[in-house]
Structure 1
Amino acid sequence: MSSDEQSAGLSPVERFSLRLREAQEEFERERRAEILAAVNEAEQDRDPLELVRAIAENYAAHRDRADADSMYAELTYELSLADVRALRLAADAAAIITPRLIQSARDNAQPVASIAADLGVTESYVYRILREQKARQEAGLGPRDGDPDTVCNDVRPGDRQKWPARCERQLGHAAPIHRGRGGDGEYHDWPVIPR
């Protein structure tokens, strides 16, 4: 029903009141739209890795200090299991693309010292990755083909007994076994993956 239909039979004061209410409702709709547009614009301008960078900076600043436990307690409170899963998967992806990024930066004439500083690693690490990338290229392999980091990576620590069989399926041959002390202080049989 339009305001003209509504105002038929109303006194001048009632018509004024009706129009005032309509104007106020229109103002509120427009203001809400402006606020939503500003929020969306702010979200678009926000760095999607802002939280990850904050966690990394906090960790780097506190990991070797006496107050590290309070940082861990704060992270435990702030992050959910799903958040940690996402961070772990993102870390896995970052590890996989790091050699490619190093090679790409080098191909674009970025100095090794600068690459190392950007990644927070040593120059010797960057040179090692570049040597490995060159060897892969010369062998006709892709950036990750035959990479030992990807072998047996679907095995969880609790499945240690299954490692040899899974590694054999992934490698195409049996992985040699090494008996060594694990993080729990006990001795375990571990597949030896050539590096």
Structure 2
Amino acid sequence: MTEQPDALETVLAAARQADAEAAATMREVRAEGLTFADAVRIREDAAVLDIAMPRILAEQRDAGRSVKDMARALDVTESYVHRLIRQHRAAEAAPSVGEYGLSTTGGHEWHRETPTAGRRCRRCDLPHSQWSGERCTGSNDQ
């Protein structure tokens, strides 16, 4: 015996299809009146949005919104949303400019008490997850 589709699911699918068609029609109507100046402004806004999108998605995820919902609302894949969130998290974990420097005595100078695990020394390219202030063992400085 084959299962019959749930009546509610059928109605919801028809409503989603109608919404998608209405949204497409609205986009076409809005697009008809665009000028070259509008296109330039929209492209500039899109470039700004590209920069902000990883942060926006990470904030929404932290607030409890599902990746599936975000992907559906933005008309992108879930994989793309995950990639942008990972990109934001990696940027947050990276040291900021001026956070790391070399001291004049040959050791490392961190502008935090303990660098985050997984960071690499720019002098010897070794990970110093719990660097305590001693001289870098990978350094040639005496």
Question: TM-score, normalization: structure 1?
Answer: 0.33
Question: TM-score, normalization: structure 2?
Answer: 0.44
Which structure has more relative contact order (CA 8 Å, sep 6+)? It is 2
Structure having the higher Rg: 1
